[in-house]
Amino acid sequence: MSFAFWSRLKALVRKETKQLLRDKSSLGIGLVLPVILILLFGYGLSFDLNQARVGVVVDQSSPQVNQVLAGLNGSRYLTSLEFHNLPEAEQAIRNGKIDAILHFPSDFANQAQQGNAKVQLLLNGRSTTIATALEGYVAGALATAPSIQIDRSLILASASAVKIEQRIWFNESGNSTWFLVPGLMVLILTLIGAFLTGLLIARERERGTLEALFVTPVRPFEIVLAKLIPYVVVGMIDIVICIVAAHFIFEVPMRSSLFSILFASFLYLIVSLLLGLTISGFAQSQFQASQIALLASFMPALMLSGFVFDTRNLPLVVQIISQLLPATHFMVL
């Protein structure tokens, strides 16, 4: 490439950088919004269940019941509240005061002596995620008591000859933050990359300066490259912010090398920026460009990349569409 090319590119990059620094709204979106998003989603969005409220109804007290309740109260995830009868507990679950009901029948002690004791677990199905998690927590808490069987066959007979040793890969603590925060990095790069560059050419078109660029001796490739470079720098700063927040604030372990993460993020950032520039080239106004960027980049990345839903559970046509999205493959990384 000639010296004239680098001179023109340097001048264009200086122009775009000055425009970016003067545009406080774009600068705020590029540097402040990622911090707000990762803190907001990191602390506000969680699939974990802490201190679930379980209403306990005991028809007839016995040492066997006390043994089971001791295991229940020993769980750090559960808080038990006692009720005098089942209708009172059912009213509490309707009012949202408790999340589940654990009912001990009057013949529980006799059943326990015979080795086939059963308790009834009533779950609030308004939130299937909470209900499923709570079901597992209660089952684990009751597993410390012998000869207990829960409806829906959650607890196997204690005399089983098979012992299962469970190990979870990549997220051994079962913390949903470890799953959500890396996915937020994908969404942030998608939003920042496509949204900011989506306004560039549309802004030039609205201000009437786009025609002025065309009459200059610069080439279209140089214009596009000059518009990308400042936002690549902003995007790399966002990547560093996301990695630092994920590792030091949310304590997400880093399984890969830092260079691999930065390189993969850089490639995805370039894709997002180019998508935004493509949208900006077709849009007639900044408002239209922002709406198209939101619908064409952020929403598919949110719904179809595997961040919210497992893509294997989606219809075949939607699965094919999801595989065409760069966010789906970056989400796996």
What is each CA distance from 227 to 240, 276, 277, in whole angstroms?
A: 21, 11, 9
Residue 48's pLDDT is 65
Per-residue pLDDT, averaged over 192-211, amounts to 79
The pLDDT assigned to 149 comes to 46
Of the listed ranges 21-35, 102-116, 153-167, 220-234, the least confidently predicted one is 153-167
Alpha-carbon distance 15 to 36, whole Å?
Answer: 29
Whether the predicted pLDDT of 259 surpasses 60: yes
User: Residue 267 and residue 240: Cα distance in Å, rounded?
Assistant: 14
Helix, strand, or coil (residue 128): helix
Beta-strand relationship, 117-123 and 78-83: unpaired
**Spatial distance between the Cα atoms of 88 and 98, rounded to a whole number of angstroms:** 11
CA angle 233, 223, 33 (to 5 degrees): 35
Max mean pLDDT range (152-166, 209-223, 319-333)? 319-333
- Mean pLDDT across 190-215: 79
Of 33-47, 158-172, 218-232, 308-322, minimum mean pLDDT range: 158-172
Between 77 and 10, residue with greater pLDDT:
10
Residue 23: per-residue pLDDT: 80
Tokens of 5: 């090319």
pLDDT band at 143 (very low <50, low <70, confident <90, very high): low
- Domains of the chain, by residue range, sit at 3-45+175-332, 52-150
Q: What is the pLDDT of residue 165?
A: 57
Specify the pLDDT at position 162: 45
Mean pLDDT (the chain) is 79
Q: What number is the average pLDDT over the span 26-43?
A: 83
- State the DSSP string of 132-169: HHHHHHHHHHHTTSTTEEETTT-S--TT-S-------S
Residue 319 has pLDDT above 80, yes or no: yes
- Is 80 exceeded by the pLDDT of residue 112? no
pLDDT of residue 145: 60
pLDDT digits (tens, 9 = 90+) for 152-195: 444 444 444 445 455 666 666 667 777 788 888 888 888 888 88
Q: Is the pLDDT confidence value at 151 over 60? A: no
Residue that wins the pLDDT comparison between 266 and 44: 266
pTM of the model: 0.70
Q: What is the pLDDT of residues 283-301, one digit of tens each?
A: 888 888 888 888 888 888 8
The model's confidence at residue 13, banded by pLDDT at 50, 70 and 90, is confident
| Cα dihedral 160→165→170→175 (10° resolution) | 60
Provide the pairing of β-strand 78-83 with 52-58. Answer: parallel
Has residue 316 got a pLDDT over 50? yes
How many residues in the chain? Answer: 333
For the cut 50, the answer to whether the pLDDT of residue 207 exceeds it is yes
CATH number for 52-150 (one of 3.40.50.300, 3.90.190.20, 3.40.1710.10, 3.40.50.150): it is 3.40.1710.10
Q: Which of 56-65, 187-196, 212-221, 278-287 has the lowest mean pLDDT?
A: 212-221
Confidence class for position 65, pLDDT limits 50, 70, 90: confident
- Rounded to an integer, the average pLDDT of 57-61 is 85
Residue 92 clears pLDDT 80, i.e. is over it: yes
